[in-house]
Structure 1
Amino acid sequence: MIGWTVFSDLHGTLLDRETQDSGPALPALKALRRSGTPLVLVSSKSLPDMLAVRRRLGHRGAFIFENGGGVALRAGSPAGRPAGFKAEGRLWIRMFGPSRENLLGAIESLRRRTGARIAEVGRMPLKELAARTGFSLERAERCRQRRCSAPFFLDSPRDLPAVRRTAGEMGFKVAHGGRFYHLLGSADKGTAAKAVLGLLGGARSAALGDAQTDIPLLRAVDRPYLVQQAPGVWEPIRVKGLRRVPAPGPQGFRLAVEDLLEGSDSYR
């Protein structure tokens, strides 16, 4: 029987939206390990941020960072390094997103063409970023270390339509995550998930998410699960075959994984 590969968003799904705690999900994480089911972590977080989360969770599998801009695998597979991946320490990494230089140039063009006040995270003073996000200085520094995306603050939400439209004209797109807007290239979480699945040779796939930025990921898999954003509240998302799990964050993650591994398919 062909096994499953599970992709999971972090913020608001595997990790609590407010506390970043994964406690309620731990039984499900253990069940995935016992069953030999690969878990691929997916996030808008930077590579250093993802490495910190993986250490905390004891995760050793593949992961997707910066909204699908990059994929990282643990180095040393007997099959060898896949085409397109470059060795970086103990990881093999493939980039799908545009370069930081191109993104920063695009941010400048957006400011000039729209008149919007845009504060790009990677160029913000560290203490200012920590104050605006509530991050520690260490976490704020990890957050700034971007390779293929440009998270930013937008002073006035009224500027968002013009910023989105202009970014599209320039060949970029704007996504809204939990704390930031993100200027991205054409790749997304779904693009990266399909690349990972292509390396696995026919595994069935499931994905867990909670927000609009997870739609490409949910559409890329065989069985998509949507956890609540708050008790009783799901993001208004339309994806074929979507399973709506009746709990938020890591509690929803646990229910979805149990549903998948037990084969009950209770949330259609």
Structure 2
Amino acid sequence: MRFSSFASIATLVASALAHSTFQQLWINGVDAGTSCARLPTSNSPIGTQASNLACNTYTSSSNVCSIKPGDKVTVEMHQQPNQRTCSNEAIGGQHYGPVLVYMGAVADAKSANPASVGWFKVSESGLVSNNPDYFAVQVLNDNCGHYTFTVPDVAPGDYLIRAEVIALHVASSSGGAQHYPGCFQVTVGGSGTARPATVKFPGAYSNSDPGILVNIHQSLATYKIPGPTPYGFTAPPIATTAWQPKATWNTALQPASVPTTTPAPGATGIGNA
């Protein structure tokens, strides 16, 4: 993508007005709202080496959502608490960059310390097209802040889900990348056996990683998504033709209310993003 100097200045100004958080969760298209979210207490960005990089600063939840391998789980991001409208971008201000999802096995999802959790990546999307450049955050905005992943064949037990946007609009200098993480408390059923290799936050990224230290105000042929290789998932190759913005999430069915009660296991709902 190419920007004039005026546009770049405008991006910096807008950055102060476009912070966001992951707030809501869907399970197989069923709205779990904020019922099992560790709701962030701030929508401000977090640095690559910050002590709260794992799950942000948050208010604890007393609930745990039930999922199983093969389920379609959707994380939802918006700019303000309890916001669900599709008339606003999920994260504005040209905060372009990748969307990533991790999981971490824990003894108790309600009390686990995120800094002590070992995390494995389960999904990612970075530069989806390079002609012209179009990032996963733009796809997230096209879908009213929704991003869906498939729960891999992990062993049963309690887990935290960690969703993250990395905004790269000022990442051309060290320390400029902005992280927007949020976590959800779940218990995984089924009969999976996998226990993937893990990383810690902070520690999984460095300020010099090519996907962290990058100038996106130029045309990029490639982009290396930060962090480990996802377990059980391979992102599609970068398209070399213009990306056609489209919503795979049914925005017409986007609710205005925010449930605070966990859905019943096995319930079905409106679809995926």
TM-score (norm 2): 0.27
Asked which structure has the greater RCO (Cα within 8 Å, sep 6+), the reply is: 2
The structure where strand makes up a greater share of residues is 2
